A and B are shown apart, each in its own frame.
Chain A
Amino acid sequence: MLQGLEAAGADVLEVGVPFSDPVADGPVIQSSSQQALAHGMTFEGALQLITDAKLSVPVVLFSYLNPIVAAGPDALHRARAAGAHGVLVTDLPVGEDPERESWFGAGPLDFVRLVAPTTPRERMGLIATHGRGFVYLISRLGVTGMQDEISTSLPGTLATLREVCTLPICVGFGISTPAHARQVGALADGIVVGSAIVRAAERSVDEALALTRSLRVALDEG
């Protein structure tokens, strides 16, 4: 699956470490997390998947604080050795736990930080200086999951973030179709598609790869 996604045109792959209580996730990722846990998936298991896939595109781990901290003090080094390049933690906002943030920040992975539509401009600047790799802009109020239309406030939020941020900006949450990809791809440096690919993969791997190819085509055509 990971190799297939790379071949289908993904520039970066996000690999989730499932958590039992994913408060930032909608029904699709909740259910995939539950299934993964029921099948015994762990932090170590996710690293093994990355190792086995032998990818040439970068991999970003995404999870919640609890499973990553539980994986031990050298978890980030093990992740790097397995081939991960970045890490994204949905429940560790900038400035809330300096000790743990510096553990992530000083580690071998790019610590990707998130900006929300509710984040004030000044705080966006703060977040941008604490992140590495890219900044992840959440496209709308809410949890992960598919939607019909891209939030109308996105262009404004993105423009404000650009003013205070020199890192590349990737936009995620709710991007589900090639039309969304084209629309957001024109504004941002990257798009993140989660639930839509997971939902497609529930039906078949082929369907997930076909969706990925169509997203790639939409981005390339602009």
Chain B
Amino acid sequence: MTASVADSGRFGAFGGRYVPETLIPALDALEVAYADALRDPAFVTALEDSLRTYVGRPSELSDAPHFSALVGAPVYLKREDLNHTGAHKINSAMAHGLLAQRMGKTRIIAETGAGQHGVATATVCARLGLECVVYMGEEDMRRQQLNVFRMRLMGATVVPVLSGTRTLKDATSEAIRDWVTNCEHSHYIIGSVVGPAPYPRMVRDFQAIIGREARAQMLERAGRLPKSVVACIGGGSNAMGIFHAFVPDREVELVGVEAAGHGLATGQHSASLAQGTPGVLHGALSYLLQDADGQIYPAHSVSAGLDYPGVGPEHAFLKDSGRGTYVSVTDDDALAAFGQFSRMEGIIPALETAHAISWIMANAGRWAPDEPILLCVSGRGDKDVAQVAEMGIVPL
């Protein structure tokens, strides 16, 4: 269902390449290079080797005894937090880095919100010997100081973005401007299933390893497919990654959890699918938080990785087609789940992941005792500890 429509660069009506003319030849070249790479066994092998020996794949599927007892159904955790650098982002960054090398590009551009994609990209660049420039909103640099330090430690240049809301949206705009200027020798590694085609499909393909592994692990461990697959949604890459293998399994419910921030009614949130309308931002047509004049609203979430007013076009398509279910969780509920889950399972989840955890908790009793739930633990929460401590929720 999704694969065929994606070949046009569209998912139903969503997606496309709404970019300055300068980038069209670069996107054409990327499309060709990507198709060539997939046909080249040397590329496929190099990627598999890097994912196994450097990233640490396959990631484990853990059970969650205390959390499962609370929910009343067995919850399985797909442990992307155990990857090198602590989140799913490196699955795509690694593949893009190898592709950039193959295309003869020597300089990498990335944007980052929580800093996890920036760290993953800086890591891959250090490993592959590529120059790395990461754009990050000034507000996010403050929220995620640890990740700024990690990127710089690995040799990346982190450029503070002072325009607009000083978060992920403006960092993405700035990265695109850099790419328009330097597209001849630079490759842009976008951090989610967003941006102009072919990015949403490429990042989805590179993240789809999460769902492929998890599907096999579920069959082996639970002896059946999950009733529900649950993941948080910023741009939507960890969710698309874990959903993709399950899309043809019509009996499996796919649940994406957006950030409701201070509450949907306050207008201060990042729930583009729940509250947005279709529009064009950062190269693609998708659901956006925008006003009646087509100006983009500043998003809000306590979690920097979810603080984005758009969403990947494939999620827009899954929502409209009814295949995906999209819900949202507030800052306060996510913060509560962050602490509760840490105490219960001895796993400190990323604040992004805590949104998905909170939704499952709030829906305890929704599943029969023999209906397993698969949760994507998109990242670990070490990066969030200082911020949460500062908020006074748990004293440091």
Q: Give the chain B neighbours of A26 by CB distance below 8 A.
A: 177
B259-310 CB contacts (< 8 Å) to partner A: 279-283, 288, 290, 292-296
What 16 additional pairs, Cβ within 8 angstroms, besides A21-B281, A23-B282, A119-B25? A20-B295, A23-B177, A24-B177, A65-B18, A69-B280, A69-B294, A70-B279, A71-B293, A93-B19, A93-B20, A119-B24, A138-B21, A141-B183, A141-B184, A143-B20, A143-B181
Most buried by B among A25, A64, A94, A142: A142
A70 to B21, CA, bound (A): 22
A28 to B357, CA, bound (A): 44
**A37 contacts the other chain (CB 8 A):** yes
Contact yes or no, A118 B290, CB < 8 A: no
Which of B16, B279, B293 touches A96 (beta carbons < 8 Å)?
A: B16
Contact yes or no, B280 A116, CB < 8 A: no
Encoded as 1 (CB less than 8 Å from any B CB) or 0, chain A from 12 to 52 comes to 00000001111111100010001001000011000000000
Encoded as 1 (CB less than 8 Å from any A CB) or 0, chain B from 130 to 169 comes to 0000000000000000000000000000000001100001
CB distance from B107 to the nearest CB of A (A): 14
30 example contacts (A-B, Cβ-Cβ < 8 A) are as follows A21-B169, A21-B170, A21-B296, A22-B173, A23-B176, A24-B177, A25-B177, A64-B280, A66-B279, A66-B280, A66-B281, A66-B294, A66-B295, A67-B293, A70-B290, A70-B292, A70-B293, A91-B18, A93-B18, A97-B18, A117-B22, A118-B24, A118-B25, A118-B183, A118-B184, A119-B21, A141-B184, A142-B180, A143-B177, A143-B181
CB distance from A137 to the nearest CB of B (A): 10
A179 to B181, CA, bound (A): 23
A70-103 CB contacts (< 8 Å) to partner B: 70-71, 90-94, 96-97
Closest partner residue, chain A, to B19 (CB atom): A91
Which of B20, B22, B23, B295 touches A37 (beta carbons < 8 Å)?
A: B295
**B182 contacts the other chain (CB 8 A):** yes
A37 to B279, CA, bound (A): 18
CB distance from B344 to the nearest CB of A (A): 40
Which of B18, B164, B176 touches A20 (beta carbons < 8 Å)?
A: B164
Q: Give the chain A neighbours of B163 by CB distance below 8 A.
A: 30, 34
Q: Give the chain B neighbours of A118 by CB distance below 8 A.
A: 21-26, 183-184
Closest partner residue, chain A, to B295 (CB atom): A20
A31 to B283, CA, bound (A): 21
**B204 contacts the other chain (CB 8 A):** no
Q: Give the chain B neighbours of A69 by CB distance below 8 A.
A: 279-280, 294
**B17 contacts the other chain (CB 8 A):** yes
Encoded as 1 (CB less than 8 Å from any B CB) or 0, chain A from 124 to 144 comes to 000100000000001001110
Q: Give the chain B neighbours of A94 by CB distance below 8 A.
A: 21
A42 to B183, CA, bound (A): 32
Which of A21, A93, A114, A116 touches B17 (beta carbons < 8 Å)?
A: A93
Closest partner residue, chain A, to B174 (CB atom): A23
Closest partner residue, chain A, to B24 (CB atom): A93
A63 to B163, CA, bound (A): 19
Q: Give the chain B neighbours of A70 by CB distance below 8 A.
A: 279, 290, 292-294
Which of B20, B26, B279 touches A23 (beta carbons < 8 Å)?
A: B20
**A58 contacts the other chain (CB 8 A):** no
Closest partner residue, chain A, to B197 (CB atom): A96
**A115 contacts the other chain (CB 8 A):** yes
**A120 contacts the other chain (CB 8 A):** yes
B36-54 CB contacts (< 8 Å) to partner A: none
Contact yes or no, B180 A143, CB < 8 A: yes
Most buried by A among B26, B173, B184: B173
A66 to B146, CA, bound (A): 36
Q: Give the chain A neighbours of B22 by CB distance below 8 A.
A: 116-118, 138, 141-142
Closest partner residue, chain A, to B26 (CB atom): A118
Q: Give the chain B neighbours of A65 by CB distance below 8 A.
A: 18, 280
Nearest 10 Cβ contacts at the A-B interface: A70-B294, A116-B22, A142-B181, A66-B294, A67-B294, A116-B21, A20-B295, A24-B20, A23-B176, A118-B25
Contact yes or no, B180 A23, CB < 8 A: yes
Closest partner residue, chain B, to A118 (CB atom): B25
Encoded as 1 (CB less than 8 Å from any A CB) or 0, chain B from 94 to 131 comes to 00000000000000000000000000000000000000
Closest partner residue, chain B, to A45 (CB atom): B293
CB distance from A146 to the nearest CB of B (A): 14
A3 to B296, CA, bound (A): 31
Q: Give the chain B neighbours of A21 by CB distance below 8 A.
A: 164, 169-170, 173, 281-282, 296
A19 to B24, CA, bound (A): 21
A169 to B10, CA, bound (A): 33
The verdict on A24 contacting B180 (CB below 8 Å), with A30-B163, A97-B16 known, is: yes
